[in-house]
Amino acid sequence: MNYILIFILLLIAELVYFWLANRFSIIALPNKRSSSSQVTLRGGGIIFYIAILFYFLFQEFSYPFFFIGLTLISIVSFIDDIRSLSVKLRLLVHFTAMGLMFYQWGLFELPWYFSVCALVVSTGILNAYNFMDGINGITGGYSLVVAAALLYINIYRVQFIDNELIYYVILSLLVFNYFNFRTKARCFAGDVGSISIAFILLFLLGKLIIATNDISYIVLLGVYGVDTVLTIIRRLLLKENIFEAHRKHVYQLLANEIKLPHVWVSTIYASLQALIIVGFLLLEPYSYWYPCVVVAVLAIGWYAVVRYQVSVNSKQSTVNSKE
């Protein structure tokens, strides 16, 4: 009954936000990065922060430094959804928020180079999540798979966090997916959604890795990670500005160039990540080489899609030049 009540409260909170977004015209206009051609409400992913706010209030103010960091990063991301903020300000807030999260992890008790490595990886994950938020259902569907895997590990493998925190996150993802994981989305996550859910999952994943001393759990974000890293490398080879909006991620090629429906592409990404996680859990004795195999297979798949699209574009260019 408690979870039903929380779900209802989150649903009401999302609907209230929709009313406010309509009233104040908080909308997402099609741009060079997005794969949607429709004007849609932006910032529906604020529900992820609200879920953690409920958890913080209802569960005796647990994980306060994580919550403060999430609050800072969510506020600046929401403002950035409404009007552009300077890169320096966003980076300052992001690093401050990550510092608070590291303190909550207890990372500062370890040698300094652990914090440096964590800062690099965390920055990459936050930006990867933000880059990958571009079609209906991809952020919510993918994150639901990761959160469910973390819950399973926490219950049946090793307890690294309060179960209630993951339950609240899953409930918020269910609410968001109801409005976003559809052919015509009622809302987009916005920066506040993609950055906040990335921060939340990063906090959970970091707690797990520190508790088990096993970095191989990073495979829980394998699909996003490989797509993001290889896309950046490709753009660098093409001498493009990697900080400018683009449509070169594989999910963008599948949705925009190959013309697969958005929900199909999102389902492919979520299902692929789910299969990788199941394999990881079943092959736990081989956890150190398994991520290497996963990266290799995903890289081959990524290359196949890119080469196919390059070939199609080349043929189309030839036809157009003849005409």
pLDDT in tens, 217-258: 999 999 999 999 999 999 999 888 877 877 889 999 999 888
Residue-wise pLDDT for 265-315, tens only, equals 999 999 999 999 999 999 988 778 999 999 999 999 999 999 998 888 777
Angle among Cα 141, 67, 225 to the nearest 5 degrees reads: 40
Report helix, strand or coil for 51. helix
pTM, 2 dp: 0.94
Q: Count Cβ neighbours within 10 Å for each residue of 57-91 and write b for 16 or more, e otherwise.
A: eeeeeebeebbbbbbbbbebbbbbbeeeeeeeebe
Residue 9 host element (H or E): helix 2-23
Question: Within 13 A of 99's CA, how many CA atoms are on the CB side?
Answer: 7
Beta pairing partners, 41: 27, 187
pLDDT at residue 34, rounded to an integer: 54
3-state helix, strand, coil in the chain (%, to 5): 75, 0, 25
pLDDT at residue 30, rounded to an integer: 60
Residue-wise pLDDT for 100-136, tens only, equals 999 999 999 999 999 999 999 999 999 889 888 889 9
- Give 60-112 as a DSSP string: TT-SHHHHHHHHHHHHHHHHHHHS---HHHHHHHHHHHHHHHHHHHTGGGS-H
Range with lowest mean pLDDT among 47-61, 168-182, 289-303, 305-319: 305-319
If one counts every other C-beta atom within 10 angstroms of the C-beta of residue 208, the result is 21
